[in-house]
A and B are shown apart, each in its own frame.
Chain A
């Protein structure tokens, strides 16, 4: 690719090593494309966490986004964004996630994803 990658993101090899390290079986491998997609997904996850923390800080009239702000938004983030299908942390988490599905979270991912999607298109 001739253009310099101005976009910040996770490196493919970092993601590969990260995920491979958690596989239970030796024979399990990660395809290159899957690693690239996971890099994208992780980026969205981080950005969502950051945006929600930021909104929390703003609602508290804080100039700085502190760990307390992140801690406050973490439960919603886990429930509404990316709960694991196979590793529910608790039954309470299950309840939360079903409620989140019906009631739109304060920061919906949709506009954010649309924004990053358009910036992706601009790279072409």
Chain B
């Protein structure tokens, strides 16, 4: 199913995992070996396959063909702390989008008044 993009996807995951490990290592004055990073990346990559199938199942159960944030929250449910974290992130996302909409409407209005004052 991944076809051509497979290797590129794995590389992208590996890259981000590497950077996350490097940063963490710096904070703790330790280095992650290349093998360790590769192993974490591989595990993450495989875990995604499991996540995807769960997400799809949850969406299908809700009679949807598009996976939504509600499905993500269900997947995160196993760990209470993670569940709360994901819930908060979801709300932050909604808040951001609402504010962005307001901002864009505001910009348009101020532009109109600017033009008016120039005339």
Q: What B residues does A53 contact at CB under 8 A?
A: 32, 36, 40
Contact yes or no, A23 B78, CB < 8 A = no
Q: Are A31 and B69 also in contact (CB < 8 A) when A19-B48, A43-B20, A74-B43 are?
A: yes
B53 to chain A minimum Cβ distance, whole angstroms, is: 6
List 20 contacting pairs A-B, 8 Å CB cutoff, sorted by A: A8-B16, A14-B16, A18-B48, A21-B2, A33-B68, A38-B72, A40-B86, A41-B51, A45-B44, A46-B16, A46-B20, A50-B40, A54-B24, A58-B30, A65-B25, A67-B33, A70-B39, A83-B78, A86-B53, A86-B54
Closest 6 CB pairs of A and B: A22-B52, A67-B35, A21-B2, A19-B52, A37-B72, A84-B50
Contact surface of A with B, Cβ cutoff 8 Å: 8-11, 14, 17-25, 27-31, 33-34, 36-38, 40-47, 49-51, 53-54, 57-58, 63-67, 69-71, 74, 80-87, 97, 108-110, 113, 116-117, 120
